[in-house]
């Protein structure tokens, strides 16, 4: 019997135009309140929330539907401490030896420094890896396509889901992330993509006084 390649579309909901406009405006109002946070509370987060947000990220489209991502959810304090310690060593070296003056000037208004206490304080670090290749059923190496694009989309959906659930996040990319493979025992086909810090903001959290570009600065209608 031949396996079906296509199935009828199910689950799609069509709304009236007025309802669509209302939903789009309401979602924009919600998402424009999202801010990257560097000051986190140690308040625990129910793991069910994280799991459902990861399920949402897993619905992201991907090249050839290969889903070339792996989310490593770190809540163990000892592991978080190892990640922080190593990341801070990498960052100190970066800021003192590698970073150009233009780059440090570009970061200045965000208040980034080599010290990264949020890596230890926040209840969850979601370390996202991209899979450069996978394995077929017969064990042969299988090339993945549009890996960065696919993982980037999934990461954006995860950030959106966590914000929608009521959590704060921070996207963090150390200048060299190879150490994450060793600490988290990840295979050679996985490359660290980003560390997504997740939790509740601290009561004294501060965020940079920055603005997002207006629609006419980011979109062109032809």
Task: Write down all domains in the chain, each with its CATH number in brackets.
Answer: 46-206 (3.40.109.10)
Q: Are 71 and 57 in contact (CB under 8 A)?
A: yes
pLDDT of residue 2: 57
CA distance 126 to 142: 26
CA distance 175 to 12: 41
Length of the chain: 222
Q: Are 27 and 160 in contact (CB under 8 A)?
A: no
* Low-confidence stretches of the chain (pLDDT beneath 50): 1
Q: Two tokens at 221?
A: 């209608």
Q: Two tokens at 121?
A: 């304080």
The DSSP 8-state label assigned to residue 189 in this structure reads T
pLDDT of residue 1: 46
Q: What is the largest CA-CA distance in the chain?
A: 65
* Residues facing residue 11 across a β-bridge: none
pLDDT of residue 106: 81
Full-model pTM:
0.93
pLDDT of residue 137: 74
């Amino acid at each position: 019997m031949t396996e079906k390649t296509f199935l009828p579309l199910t689950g799609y909901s069509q709304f009236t135009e007025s309802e669509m406009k209302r939903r789009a405006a309401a979602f924009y109002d919600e998402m424009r309140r999202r801010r990257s946070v560097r000051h986190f509370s140690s308040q625990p987060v129910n793991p069910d929330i994280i799991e459902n947000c990861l399920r949402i990220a897993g619905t992201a489209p991907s090249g050839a539907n290969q889903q070339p991502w792996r989310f490593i959810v770190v809540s163990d304090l000892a592991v978080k401490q190892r990640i922080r310690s190593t990341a801070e060593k990498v960052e100190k070296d970066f800021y003192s030896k590698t970073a150009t003056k233009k780059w440090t000037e570009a970061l200045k208004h965000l208040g980034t420094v080599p010290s990264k206490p949020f890596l230890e304080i926040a209840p969850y670090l979601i370390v996202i890896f991209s899979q450069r290749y996978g394995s077929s059923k017969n064990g042969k190496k299988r090339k993945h396509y549009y890996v960065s694009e696919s993982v980037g989309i999934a990461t954006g959906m995860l950030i959106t889901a966590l914000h929608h659930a009521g959590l704060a996040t921070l996207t963090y990319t150390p200048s060299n992330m190879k150490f994450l493979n060793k600490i988290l025992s990840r295979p050679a086909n996985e490359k660290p993509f980003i560390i997504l810090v997740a939790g509740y903001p601290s009561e004294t959290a501060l965020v940079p006084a920055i603005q997002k570009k207006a629609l006419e600065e980011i979109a062109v209608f032809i």
